[in-house]
């Protein structure tokens, strides 16, 4: 049996800073649970922590979501017991065993596998936040979705479509455009061209109601120029680097636009909020609205290869790390 271990960084930089270290699991304290992990989700934010784009206190163990079997619970935990299958959100997920707040863990219903949970907890709840909490999506609207076949995008596109939203997907290749159409996108545009001009043509010159933008620096101008008056630019990622600051007067000049930068944890501050979001997510999974695609699996010990893959834009769907 492999000894318990974690992936740790002691300095920021390239994938070489990701180091495997032996680490005994921490005994859960009050309000905590210990989980033997079976799958861990890879997210772009993990690369931001590794490179220093999002500063963290070092040494640091990356990772924000995972799933597995509860092995022990701390004092006061009544919602979970040893043997329960759970998915969770929390810092420091790149470990064989994870100890964290039980309040950020949800018991998995029958029919939802641990791999599915690890693939969708953070990404699926982000899609829920974008469609239901930041701004309620409505039938008849048109949305521009960037990176439509990535971890969040591959859930956002079908969920938005099921709500009656017409999705225009902006992606980097014909193969990814074909996959976006399979997911429900009504139209696709390639990002090596003039995205805003193409979007205007597809909308009869009107523009879209909202741009769901996970790309950042490379997509910012196109997002703004694709919006109709009073449209929303929802910037929730930095795949190409952080977007440049936007002066408020520009938003006014382009038609009273709205810019927001949401963070999921601002929308799930309590266990009740997390349960509400998870119920919507699991309901969409059981209904078949969402069919998560796990495009890649890497051993947790090969996490550097996983980071290289996601940063190169070569991944499709969710990527899992298996301890």
Question: 3-state secondary structure string, the chain?
Answer: CCCCEEEEECCCCCHHHCEEEECCCCCCCCCEEEEEEEEEECCHHHHHHHHCCCCCCCCECCCCEEEEEEEEECCCCCCCCCCCEEEEECCCCCECEEEEEHHHEEECCCCCCHHHHHHHHHHHHHHHHHHHHHCCCCCCCEEEEECCCCCCHHHHHHHHHHCCCEEEEEECCHHHHHHHHHHCCCEEEECCCCHHHHHHHHCCCCCEEEEEECCCCCCHHHHHHHEEEEEEEEECCCCCCCCCCCCHHHHHHCCCCEEECCCHHHCCCCHHHHHHHHHHHHHHHHHCCCCCCEEEEEEHHHHHHHHHHHHCCCCCCEEEEEC
For the chain, how many structural domains are there in total? 2
For the entire predicted model, the pTM comes to 0.89
Last residue of a domain, one of 212, 241, 261: 261
Same structural domain, 94 and 181? no
Same structural domain, 9 and 97? yes
In a domain, 90, yes or no: yes
Give residue 38's pLDDT band: very low, low, confident or very high (50, 70, 90).
Answer: very high
CA 222 vs CA 162, 242, 286: distances in Å:
26, 15, 36
Last residue of a domain, one of 261, 291, 311: 261
- Quote the CA–CA distance of 285 and 126 in Å, as a whole number: 15
In a domain, 165, yes or no: yes
Same structural domain, 15 and 58? yes
Last residue of a domain, one of 244, 261, 278: 261
- The pLDDT tens digits of the residues spanning 213-225 come to 999 899 999 999 9
Q: How many CB atoms lie within 10 A of CB 258?
A: 13
Same structural domain, 55 and 74? yes
Q: How many CB atoms lie within 10 A of CB 198?
A: 19
Range of the domain at 245: 139-261
For the chain, give the mean pLDDT: 95
In a domain, 131, yes or no: no
- The pLDDT tens digits of the residues spanning 185-213 come to 999 999 999 999 999 999 999 999 999 99
Report pLDDT for 174: 94
In a domain, 129, yes or no: no
CATH number at residue 74: 3.90.180.10
CATH number at residue 246: 3.40.50.720
Q: Are 311 and 28 in contact (CB under 8 A)?
A: no
In a domain, 238, yes or no: yes
Is pLDDT of 314 > 90?
no
Give me the count of residues in the chain: 323
């Amino acid at each position: 049996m492999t000894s318990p271990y974690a992936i740790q960084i002691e300095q920021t930089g390239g994938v070489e800073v990701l180091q495997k270290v032996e680490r005994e699991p921490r005994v859960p304290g009050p309000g905590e649970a210990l989980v033997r992990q079976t799958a861990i989700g890879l997210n772009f934010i993990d690369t931001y922590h590794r490179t220093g784009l999002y500063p963290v206190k070092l040494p640091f163990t990356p990772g924000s979501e995972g799933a597995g079997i509860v092995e022990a619970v701390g004092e006061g935990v009544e919602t979970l017991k040893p043997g329960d299958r759970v998915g969770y959100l929390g810092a420091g997920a790149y470990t064989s065993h994870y100890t964290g707040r039980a309040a950020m863990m949800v018991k998995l219903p029958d029919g939802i596998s641990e791999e599915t949970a690890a693939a969708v907890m953070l990404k699926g709840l982000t899609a829920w936040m974008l469609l239901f909490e930041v701004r309620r999506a409505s039938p008849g609207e048109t949305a521009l979705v960037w990176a439509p076949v990535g971890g969040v995008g591959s859930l956002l596109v079908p969920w938005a479509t099921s709500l009656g939203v017409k999705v225009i997907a902006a992606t980097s290749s014909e193969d990814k455009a074909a996959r976006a159409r399979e997911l429900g996108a009504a139209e696709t545009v390639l990002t090596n061209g003039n995205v805003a001009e193409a979007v205007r043509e597809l909308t009869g010159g009107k523009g879209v109601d909202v741009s769901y933008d996970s790309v950042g620096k490379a997509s910012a101008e196109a997002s703004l120029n694709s919006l109709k008056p009073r449209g929303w630019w929802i910037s929730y990622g930095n795949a190409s680097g952080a977007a440049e600051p936007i002066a408020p007067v520009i938003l006014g000049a382009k038609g009273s636009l709205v810019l927001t930068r949401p963070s999921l944890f601002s929308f799930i501050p309590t266990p009740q909020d997390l349960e509400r979001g998870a119920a919507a997510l699991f309901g969409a999974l059981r209904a078949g609205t969402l069919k998560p695609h796990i495009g890649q699996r890497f051993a947790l010990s090969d996490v550097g290869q996983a980071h290289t893959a996601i940063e190169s834009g070569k991944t499709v769907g969710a990527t899992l790390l298996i301890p």
